[in-house]
Amino acid sequence: MDYGKRDLVLAGELILPDRTLPHAQVICRDGAIVEITADPQHAGRAGARGRIEGRYIAPGFIDLHVHGGGGADYMDGSADTVRVANRVHARHGTTTIFPTTTTGSPQEIAGMLEACGNVRDEWSIGDGARIGGVHYYGPYFAGDKVGCHSREGRRDPDAAEYEHVLAGGLVRIATCAAELPGAGEFYRAAREHQCLVTCGHSDSTWAEMARAYEAGVRHVDHFWCAMSSVPSIRKRCGTPMQGSMEQFVLAHEEMSTEVIADACHLAPELLNFAFRMKGARRLCLVTDANRAVDMPPGRYVFGPASTGTPFESDGKVGFVPGQGLASSVKGMDHMVRTMIAAGAASLPDAARIASLTPAERVGIAARTGSLEPGKRADVLVLSESLEVERVFIGGEEFRG
Ligand SMILES: [Zn+2]
Ligand SMILES: [Zn+2]
């Protein structure tokens, strides 16, 4: 292949889904990856638009579960705050993002969807991570599993509400607690709209999960956080002890899940266990980050600025004093480094579960998620210590 002046060449050790490829390069043209080659001299000779060298060249990250950053929560409901959060996450290597609702009023959720839709439709490189769709997460949580979400904003699935939301086409991931009345209808409607259908903030039993699976559920939100366990089901249903979401996910190969690998929510052995049990094709990294990402320690609000839950950030994690954690304050690059530091995944596997695996689960892997010819040029240059040095989205450099 000959290289033109408009080509972008990124050279270094490529992080592919199943291995790394040292002394190689990614050639990008017109916003897409056109070639992967192990011949680093070739393009340099041809005078490409830019030949950029780095220690590692990685696919852009994809975050399926994220609430905000830089002081902004997606539920604040304005296009400006959506862009603030998307820029923060792009700096941490996320190139495709799925802004995630919290519990909230129908008006608050409608405002979030409208703001995210506008930002997606008018996207330019200065806006940061591209919106792949919205994760419709709150409000259909179990009453005793709302976590740090406001209890007032929780409700049972309401067909009039969710049919309208799903018909908008922006929602690509849809969560509901399986034990709620109407959960099955919600799952079926979400599946019809080609969403990744997921169960979360739930105390559901194995039997409820089995019905949910029939209705289309294939994923469970943040494993071990705000979900059922054998002891929680024993408390709810007595004996004989029954299986919970945990056993159901581990026993069903088709079920995927996600971990918040910020080193605060889960100990290294649980990150290790989750990867060993589910493997690189069924485990995703998510940030589940709140508005305190890249902000100083202090007091913030989780969810809508006016009606959300106050929490504190110590710069490492969000928490509600006396109650528990309130989601992460870190970007995706941190999650990848934590998986590797925990000995839970190799470099290619840790990158895969932050890029290709989430892309596959939401059905966008033909367009992005790995360094492969034909895909969008969503590419990162990483340092030896896996810090994000440069970010390219559709072949354009994000410099925000
Ligand atoms: Zn949650
Ligand atoms: Zn969350």
pLDDT above 80 for 128: yes
**In CATH, what is the architecture of 61-362?**
Alpha-Beta Barrel (3.20)
pTM of the model: 0.97
Fold exhibited by the domain 8-58+375-398: Urease, subunit C; domain 1 (2.30.40)
Distance from the alpha carbon of residue 302 to the mean position of ligand 2, in angstroms: 10
CA 54 – ligand 1 centroid, Å = 36
- Of 34, 347, 17, the closest CA to residue 25 belongs to 34
CA of residue 290 to ligand 1 center, whole Å: 11
Residues contacting residue 88 through CB under 8 Å, at least 6 positions apart: 69, 70, 72, 128, 293, 294, 331
Res. 50 pLDDT band, cuts 50 70 90: confident
135-175 pLDDT, tens digit per residue, is 999 899 999 999 999 999 999 999 999 999 999 999 999 99
Indicate the pLDDT class of residue 10, thresholds 50, 70 and 90: very high
304 CA distance to ligand 1 middle (Å): 15
For the CA of 199, the nearest ligand: 1
pLDDT tens profile 247-294: 999 999 999 999 999 999 999 999 999 999 999 999 999 999 999 999
Report CA-CA distances (Å) from 70 to 73, 82, 294, 321: 9, 10, 6, 22
Residue 252 Cα to ligand 1 middle (Å): 22
What distance in angstroms lies between residue 38's CA and the mean position of ligand 1's atoms? 42
Per-residue pLDDT at 38: 87
Q: Which ligand is nearest to the CA of 66?
A: 2
Query: Where are the chain's structural domains?
Result: 8-58+375-398, 61-362
Ligand 2 centroid distance, CA of 65 (Å): 6
Q: pLDDT for 309-330, tens place per residue?
A: 999 999 999 999 999 999 999 9
Q: Ligand 2 centre and the CA of 19: distance in Å?
A: 31
C-alpha 10 – ligand 2 centre gap (Å): 34
pLDDT at 344 exceeding the cut of 70:
yes
Give distance in angstroms: CA of 387 to centre of ligand 1.
27
Q: Choose between 48 and 185: higher pLDDT.
A: 185
pLDDT at 46 over 60: no
CA of 327 to the centre of ligand 1 (A): 7
Distance 22 CA to ligand 1 centre (A): 38
Average pLDDT over residues 55-78: 98
Distance (Å) from CA 221 to ligand 2 centroid: 8
* Centroid of ligand 2 to alpha carbon of 64 (angstroms): 10
The amino acid sitting at 364 is I
Q: Which ligand is nearest to the CA of 290?
A: 2
| Cα 287 to averaged position of ligand 2 atoms, centre (Å) | 8
Å from CA of 254 to ligand 1 middle: 21
**The one-letter amino acid at 361:** R
- Between CA 292 and CA 314 the distance in angstroms is 9
Point out the ligand nearest to the CA of residue 227. Answer: 1
Expressed in angstroms and rounded, the spacing between residue 73 Cα and the centre of ligand 1 is 14
Listed in sequence order, the residues at least 6 apart from 12 whose beta carbon sits closer than 8 Å to its beta carbon are 24, 25, 53, 54, 55, 56, 57, 381
pLDDT for residue 400: 85
Average pLDDT, the chain: 96
24 or 40, higher pLDDT = 24
